Amino acid sequence: MRKRQKLLVVLILSAVVLVVALLSSLYKKNRAVDIAQEYLEQKYGQKMQYLFVYHQAWFYPQYYRVRFASVDIPEVTFSVCVQENMSIPDEFRDFENGSLSADNYQIGVFEYYMEQQLAEDTKQIWGNSASIVVLDSYNMDGAFFTISPKLHLGMSLAEMEPLINNYWIYVETQQTLREEKLDQIAGQIIEFQQFIKESGFRPETIYFCFPEANKSERCISFEDWEETFSINQIITRLKGA
């Protein structure tokens, strides 16, 4: 009987501890959302559409990451990092001069504008099923973001692009790398690289991605995309990927 009573007490205490932990976690997440919204309103003059919040306890345990969608451009999603002590440091609030940022909203807007700019030509070269993805390789994730204080939302794409230090272009070709199509694909790669050169844009890397079995894909990178390649050189790289 006593053993059963002790077991019952242990179970009750465990349940109480679990409930307290869950309530504490819920409170902190809700508080992180409020702080993030206040920060966005201070920086951009408006609140954003809240999506979800998560705590990267295994990677960045000192931060909560709050995800939002832009009110003006719903396709743009981004993060705000809130410290575990429920604050955003002052150095992240120097909006006019500081390069450290608690959010990557402006990067998301740049990526969206760039994708829209490249979409039509991408389809002309690769077909209507092809798509384009642009990613700032330095500001995809992390405890904070590094963004030029000169970057502003009212800028044109041509004004924004030189202020983005490193970004990648992914071409989702939807074409398979079959031997009989390698000449055609190599020509399309050369044509796309030439298009990017003529546009004046300077990505760090261009990736060409090709679907494979089991819904996977193979992406071939061109950090040296500004160089001039022959068809045979491209085919050699495609076969070696």
Please report the pLDDT score of residue 24 as a whole number. Answer: 47
Q: Which of 68, 103, 138 is the last residue of a domain?
A: 103
pTM, two decimals, is 0.87
Residues 112 and 183 occupy one common structural domain: yes
Q: How far apart are CA 211 and CA 110, in angstroms?
A: 27
Residue ranges making up the domain that contains 220 = 104-241
Q: How far apart are CA 104 and CA 129, in angstroms?
A: 29
pLDDT in tens, 96-145: 899 999 999 999 999 999 999 999 999 999 999 999 999 998 887 777 89
Please report the pLDDT score of residue 23 as a whole number. Answer: 44
Residues 121 and 88 occupy one common structural domain: no
Residues 62 and 120 occupy one common structural domain: no
7, pLDDT greater than 60: no
Tell the residue number behind the tokens 């998560």, with chain if given: 54
Cα angle value 220/226/230 (rounded, 5°): 70
Residues 162 and 135 occupy one common structural domain: yes
Q: How far apart are CA 214 and CA 150, in angstroms?
A: 44
pLDDT in tens, 165-215: 889 999 999 999 999 999 999 999 999 999 999 999 999 999 999 998 777
232, pLDDT greater than 90: yes
60: its two tokens: 């960045």
H/E run at residue 225: none
Residues 194 and 231 occupy one common structural domain: yes
- Burial status of residue 82 (CB atoms within 10 A of its CB: 0-12, 13-18, 19 or more): buried
Beta bridge partners of 145: 101
> What is the per-residue DSSP string for 158-173?
HHHGGG---EEEEEE-
Residues 235 and 186 sit within 8 Å (Cβ to Cβ): yes
Q: Which of 103, 128, 158 is the last residue of a domain?
A: 103
Residues 36 and 117 occupy one common structural domain: no
Residues 97 and 3 occupy one common structural domain: yes
Q: How many domains does the chain have?
A: 2
Residues 41 and 68 occupy one common structural domain: yes
Q: How far apart are CA 31 and CA 37, in angstroms?
A: 10
Q: Which of 103, 138, 173 is the last residue of a domain?
A: 103
Residues 234 and 157 occupy one common structural domain: yes
What's the mean pLDDT when you consider all of the chain?
88
Q: What is the mean pLDDT of the segment spanning 73-82?
A: 95
Residues 175 and 120 occupy one common structural domain: yes
Q: What is the mean pLDDT of the segment spanning 70-88?
A: 94
226, pLDDT greater than 70: yes
Confidence of residue 18 (pLDDT cuts 50, 70, 90): low
Please report the pLDDT score of residue 21 as a whole number. Answer: 46
197: its two tokens: 């050169």
pLDDT in tens, 26-71: 556 889 999 999 999 999 999 999 999 988 666 677 889 999 999 9
Residues 45 and 105 sit within 8 Å (Cβ to Cβ): no
Residues 54 and 43 occupy one common structural domain: yes
CA dihedral sign, ordered 53, 30, 28, 14: negative
Residues 177 and 210 occupy one common structural domain: yes
Best CA proximity match to 121, nearest among 196, 44, 64: 196
CB proximity list for 15: less than 8 A, separation 6 or greater: none
